[in-house]
Amino acid sequence: MNQLTDFFSIFWKYFEPFLKFISTNQILSGAVATLIAAVLIFIFKEYIKPPPNFSGVFEIECKTVKSAYNPYLNLKTFYTLVLICDNNSIEGCIEKTKDVERNNSIRTYTGKHRSIGEVRGVIKRNYLRKNHASLNIKMDGELRNYTILLYFRRVNTDAMYGKFWSTAADSSGEVKWQRSAF
């Protein structure tokens, strides 16, 4: 115990003049404060609240609630996404796998009959609130190309719920997102 006390007394003997010098020098004290703030922000961003990882394979279900084309109402469309996430940006590919219509008839898409598309998205990182995610999808459809926008207010890489808007029949509705198949 005596050695520890000796260490702190020697440390304080040399550290105290340094603290007095910093407190009297405005430029140096500002630089030290900035350095401390940068270290704290880095620790918070990388360890306390790291960015979500959206790299991998995901499944989404879009349920159409509003549409300009009535047969699309209550239609559930399923997609498979393969994504790569680099910090706050997301990109990848998407394939339409099946539709479940109002009368529960299922139409599956396999092989060359699948519509494919490109995905680009961003994660809005909030430090004190939940993160948000937006994905813009450009699909090569059977009859024409169309765009889908997905928006999630609460980001979770395992399961999320959000909203979608599509230029196909000017439709919109609810979207579910998960890592495992539906």
Q: Where are the domains of the chain?
A: 2-48, 56-178
Q: What is the DSSP string of 147-168?
A: EEEEEESS--SSEEEEEEEETG
Cβ-count burial 90-125 (b if 16+ within 10 Å, e if not): bebebebbbbbeeeeeeeebeeeebbebebebebeb
pLDDT digit string (tens) for the chain, length 182 residues: 677 788 888 888 888 887 777 777 788 778 888 999 999 988 888 888 887 888 999 999 999 999 998 888 999 999 999 999 988 899 999 999 999 998 999 999 999 889 999 999 999 988 788 889 999 999 998 889 999 999 999 888 789 999 999 999 999 999 999 998 87
Q: Which two tokens stand for residue 35?
A: 């350095």
Q: What's the CATH number of domain 56-178, 2.40.128.120, 1.10.260.40, 3.90.1580.10, 3.40.50.850?
A: 2.40.128.120
Residue 172: enclosing H or E segment and its boundaries? strand 171-178
pTM, full prediction: 0.78
